[in-house]
Amino acid sequence: MSAAHGHPSPTAPTGATPPAAHGTPDRAVVARTAALARLALSDAELDAVAPQFARILGSFEALRGLDTSGVEPMTRPIELAMIMRQDVPGDCLDPQAALAPAPKQVNGFFAVPKTLEAEG
């Protein structure tokens, strides 16, 4: 399964039941969700997307109303045991080829803006 469990809550302190969990997410919830998703949305985008978001989730009520007690979640369509292979090295991508699509590279590494402030 590729989807990760447990982003922090976009509303309330973790652990509390968020007030909007069974209602309509408001603009603030959408803004917090955008921050979690690393999406810098403009005010105009937030104004546009918040009502759409509420309408989309509102149209999904058929999902919420179903009784699923005792039903096991289905995370993938074909439930195979994990496929193992021999622990033998195979071919891998040339590092230069792997780096080639990067917007910036330095000395054979992906380059990113500085992440730590200088400390005294």
Partner 1 sequence: MSHPNPIDAVETARAVAAGELSAEQVVTRALNAARDLGGRLNLFLSLDRERALDRARAVDSARAAGRALGPLAGVPVALKANMCAEGFESNCASRILAGYHAPYTATFVMRLLDAGAIPIGVTNMDEFAMGSSGENSAFGPAKNPWDEARTPGGSSSGAAGAVAAGIVPIALGSDTGGSVRQPAALCGILGLKPTYGRISRYGLIAFASSLDQVSPFARSVRDLELLLELLSGADPLDSTSLPLAPLGRSGEEGARLDGLRIGVPAQYMPAGLDPRVRTAIEASLATFESLGAKLVEVSLPHTDAAIPCYYVVATAEASSNLARFEGVRYGMRELGDGSLQGMMAATRAAGFGPEVKRRILLGTYVLSSGYYAAWYGQALKVRRLLRRDFDRAFEQCDVIAGPTSPTPAFRLGAKTADPVAMYLNDILTAPASLAGLPALSLPCGFAEESGTRLPLGLQLIAPPLEDARVLRAARAFESATDFHTQHPALFAS
For partner 1, the binding residues in 96-115 under the rule CB under 8 A are: 97-98, 100-104, 110, 112-115
Most distant CA pair in the chain: distance in Å? 58
Query: To 10 degrees, what angle do helices 43-58 and 27-36 make?
Result: 100
How far lies 90's CA from each of 87, 100, 101, in Å? 9, 21, 23
Q: Is 80 in the site for partner 1 (CB under 8 A)?
A: yes
- Contacting partner 1 within 20-79 (CB under 8 A): 21-22, 25, 29-30, 33-42, 45, 49, 52-53, 55-57, 59-64, 66, 68, 71-78
Q: Which tokens belong to 50?
A: 């918040």
Q: What is residue 106's three-state secondary structure?
A: strand
The residue (of 78 and 118) whose beta carbon lies closer to partner 1 is: 78
How many binding residues for partner 1 (CB under 8 A)? Answer: 72
Minimum gap (Å) between residue 95 Cβ and partner 1: 10
